[in-house]
Chain A
C-alpha cells in the first residue's frame, strides 16, 4: 500500500471529508469512475472494507487496476441494489461468517441480476468478486455458472467454456470405469 507523506494538511482535510461521505469512488482499469454506497461496499467486500478502514480510499477514484469498467459497473450495481433491497438475515450472516456458512439460494433479484449477463460479463464478474473478496457475489455467480453446466455433456462444456480436452482416449475410459456405479444413459 502506498503512503504519501508529502502532502500535509490539504491531504488531511480531504481524508476527513472522505470519511464523512457516504459513498466511495472506484476507478476501473480503463479509468472510468463509479460511485458506490460506502456501507454496502464495506459490508459486501472484505477488500473494500479493509481499504475504507485503513483510509486508503482515494476521493478521486480508488484505483482497481485488475477490474475492467464493465465488471466494475456490475459490482457497483450489485452493491447498490443490495443496499436498496431489504437485507435478509440470511445474506447478512453469509457476508459475515463467509466460507463455512451453508450456501443460501440466490434471492429473486440476485437471480435476475446474473441472468441478464453475457457469458464473458459473468466470468469477468466472478473474477472481480474474487479479487474484491465479495463472498456473497461469488456464491451467486458461481451458482449461476454451475446452473449453466447442469445437464451438459463434457463435449458441450468444452465448447461453451472453451476448454481443451487434455485426456487420452484410454484415460477417458478409465474415468468412466473408476466409479462405483454407472448411469444407464451414459
Chain B
C-alpha cells in the first residue's frame, strides 16, 4: 500500500521522502511501485535546460509541477539532443555515440552505432513511448536521408533517402501513442522550417512566416499533437514574440503573442529564442549575446495565450541570470525503461 501511495507523489516529492525510512527507499525497487507508477496520470514535465557550452556550469532542470529548479549532477558531456516520454537521448559530439537515459533513475542504454554516413547530421528526433524510435536526419537540403533506430529490435534500419514534397498534405505530429504518424520539424541552416514525415519518407520546406529581411529569431516546437513556430521579431521600434501554429492546410496561424510590455525589453538586444514544448505549454528561453541584454525564461500556454515568466534559478551566488541555449522536456517517469 505504501508503494501505491508513493507512486502517486510527484517524483521530486518522492525522492525527497526517500529519507523518511529504509522501507520508503526500498519501495522504489519493488515491482508494485513500478506498476503503480505506470498507472499514474501524466506527470508535469521537467525541462532540461542547457547552457552555452563555453559555460562550465552543469545543465539545469526545471520541475514544472513543483516549480523548482534543480542542478544537474551529470557531467556536461555528452550533450542531450532529444527526448521522448520519460527518456532523454544523449549524443557525444566527438564520436557521435548515442545513449538513452532515464534521467530520473540514471538507467542508461548505449545504442548500437548508427549506420556510417558521410552526410552531415541535420537533426535528431526521438518519439514513441514506451517503445521508442530515434531518427537521424542527414544530408543537406534539398537532398536529405534518414536513419531509424527501433528500440524493440535494438537495431538501425538502413539509411533511406527522403523524397521532396511540395507542401500539400496535412501534417500530424506524433503525440506519443501514434508513432506511425510521426513528423519531425527542424530549422534548416537558412532558417526555414523543414517537416520530415518519417512514415512517408518525405520532407517539405514550410512557407516562411515573416519576410526574410525582418530581423528575427525563430525556433520550432512540436508538442501536444501540433507544431508551432516561435518568432521573435523587431518591428516599428519594438520587439514582439509570437507563437504560430501549423494548421492542417500547411499554413501558419498565430495562436499566442507575448504581451508587448513583456517583449519590449528584447528590442535591440539581438536576442535569440530557444523553445521546447510539452502538451499545451511551450517554454521560451530568450538569450542575448549582449552581456547587458535582456533575457529570460517564459512559459506560454498556447491554448489560453497566458504567459508567465519563470523566476530564474538561484544558484548560490544567484545574481547572474542564466542564458539557456537549448532545452528539452521529458515526463519524469520512474518506470520508463531505456
Interface residue from B17, B63, B70 paired with A154 (Cβ < 8 Å): B17
Judge whether A182 and B70 touch: CB under 8 Å. Answer: yes
* In the assembled complex, B72 has its CB within 8 A of some CB on chain A: yes
Complex Cα gap A13–B135 (Å) = 70
* In the assembled complex, B128 has its CB within 8 A of some CB on chain A: no
* In the assembled complex, B314 has its CB within 8 A of some CB on chain A: yes
Chain A residues numbered 88-110 whose CB sits less than 8 Å from any CB in chain B = 99-105
Judge whether B61 and A154 touch: CB under 8 Å. Answer: no
Judge whether A146 and B39 touch: CB under 8 Å. Answer: no
Judge whether A142 and B4 touch: CB under 8 Å. Answer: yes
Judge whether A101 and B39 touch: CB under 8 Å. Answer: yes
Judge whether A145 and B20 touch: CB under 8 Å. Answer: no
* In the assembled complex, A170 has its CB within 8 A of some CB on chain B: no
Interface residue from B9, B15, B20 paired with A179 (Cβ < 8 Å): B15
Given A103-B41, A154-B17, A164-B21: A180 touches B72 (CB 8 Å cut-off): yes
Judge whether B41 and A105 touch: CB under 8 Å. Answer: yes
Given A103-B39, A165-B21, A184-B314: A179 touches B73 (CB 8 Å cut-off): yes
Complex Cα gap A143–B4 (Å) = 8
Distance in angstroms from B104 CB to nearest chain A CB is 8
Judge whether A185 and B21 touch: CB under 8 Å. Answer: no
Judge whether A149 and B70 touch: CB under 8 Å. Answer: no
Complex Cα gap A183–B21 (Å) = 20
Judge whether B315 and A142 touch: CB under 8 Å. Answer: no
Complex Cα gap A147–B6 (Å) = 10
Interface residue from A145, A150, A175, A186 paired with B10 (Cβ < 8 Å): A150
Q: Considering residues B1, B16, B41, which has the most beta carbons from chain A within 10 angstroms of its beta carbon? A: B16
Complex Cα gap A138–B8 (Å) = 12
* In the assembled complex, A14 has its CB within 8 A of some CB on chain B: no
* In the assembled complex, A130 has its CB within 8 A of some CB on chain B: yes
Judge whether A181 and B61 touch: CB under 8 Å. Answer: yes
Judge whether B20 and A184 touch: CB under 8 Å. Answer: no
Distance in angstroms from B33 CB to nearest chain A CB is 12
Interface residue from B4, B38, B71 paired with A181 (Cβ < 8 Å): B71
Complex Cα gap A81–B13 (Å) = 32
Chain B residues numbered 1-36 whose CB sits less than 8 Å from any CB in chain A = 1, 4-6, 8-10, 12-13, 15-22, 25, 35
Judge whether B314 and A163 touch: CB under 8 Å. Answer: no
Complex Cα gap A152–B41 (Å) = 21
- Kindly list 5 other residue pairs between chains A and B, CB separation below 8 angstroms, not including A103-B39, A103-B40, A183-B68: A100-B38, A145-B5, A146-B6, A180-B74, A185-B68
